[in-house]
Structure 1
């Protein structure tokens, strides 16, 4: 039902109008999901169920947050690091709207491909920022799109302040990193890497090694089970790079 409505809306409503009124449309759709069994920790909407997407992720109908976004917000709050200067690549609107409201934050949102609503359009392989500037960088589901990923990782390290932190996530596979620069068509990339605009699939260890090669100290956080069923969280792995 939700997926069908979204597909129809994209077909008949201009993109700019849809973006401008996204939260209004979501409010209407989310009425049928209201309840008291679950809660979105980003928008604080109480619901009887999350939207079960085709990829088995759980979406909040009220703000559009995915499981990984809700867990990220939970972890950032628990670590008490939502302060100072923050750079957020490809920011989900649900989270970026929440972070903008925090008074102690200087928030820089960036989207290079014009797919998200953001203030800047930084090339992650050549970030237009002075060195040692950001306290926190969020880089979720970005590096798997970048051909020169080591260059991007070096830039993430450069713009972080000493003791700064970078939260990183990508899709993962077992074994080694799989990449092949000869695979360039969208269909072939989707078959090889799982999505038409991906250029590799990382392994957890492989991504850790590459991050460490540019200077990061890396912590791996793996959540095997739904540690908070109330918030609709799914199993996942997150890498935290520290400078």
Structure 2
């Protein structure tokens, strides 16, 4: 997570955080860090459903949403909720697996085996394209900046080669 997003006094919400990010941000006494994971598979303070986040409007300065939206059937509702809980001027950092072309989703694909074939993981419900996800986020009210990181220059962030991260502001 880039330090440009971690400001003293910030209210931060992190969906299904990695253990290393959780430990680092939880120890940062300059921010109010909260994590959430509905599945119970990750360290978390809450179990928020991303389509109905149990938080006040405009509560968070920063929301981290890495590898979440591709799991959510009602992603439009999730995006509306992310926008709702984000303060004006706040940032929501989003990353998912991406493919070229358009978004691929097929809600008739239900079995884990079929989802693995169609979406590359047994619990995914779609594969986004960068432009498709930007369009959906923009429709939800966000201003979106697509950032491209490459391993040779930006590897200190731990990104894979040619990683794309969407920085969404309200």
For the aligned pair, the TM-score class normalised by the smaller chain equals over 0.9
* TM-superposed deviation, 1:103: 1.1
Residue 239 (1) aligns with residue 166 (2): yes
Distance 1:232 1:160, change over 3 A: closer
Residue 136 (1) aligns with residue 58 (2): no
The answer to which structure has the higher helix fraction is: 1
CA distance in 2, matches of 1:242, 1:87: 15
Which residue, 81, 84, 87 being the options, matches 2:6? 81
Unaligned ranges ≥5, structure 1: 1-72
CA distance in 1, matches of 2:156, 2:147: 20
CA distance in 2, matches of 1:230, 1:217: 26
Q: Report the structure number with the largest CA radius of gyration.
A: 1
Which residue, 20, 37, 41 being the options, matches 1:111? 37
CA distance in 1, matches of 2:45, 2:149: 32
Residue 192 (1) aligns with residue 118 (2): yes
Which residue, 178, 182, 186 being the options, matches 2:108? 182
Q: TM-score, normalised by structure 2?
A: 0.94
* TM-superposed deviation, 1:179: 0.1
Q: Is the 8 A contact 1:169 1:237 kept in 2?
A: yes
Q: Is the 8 A contact 1:226 1:233 kept in 2?
A: no
Structure number with greater CO (CA < 8 Å, separation at least 6) is 2
Residue 209 (1) aligns with residue 135 (2): yes
Equivalence for 1:95: 21
Distance 1:80 1:229, change over 3 A: closer
> In angstroms, what is the RMSD of aligned CA positions?
1.3
Q: Which runs of 4+ in 1 moved over 3 A?
A: 228-233
* TM-superposed deviation, 1:233: 3.9
Q: Is the 8 A contact 1:87 1:107 kept in 2?
A: yes
Unaligned ranges ≥5, structure 2: none
Which residue, 94, 99, 116 being the options, matches 1:168? 94
Aligned length: 168
Q: Is the 8 A contact 1:227 1:233 kept in 2?
A: no
CA distance in 1, matches of 2:121, 2:135: 23
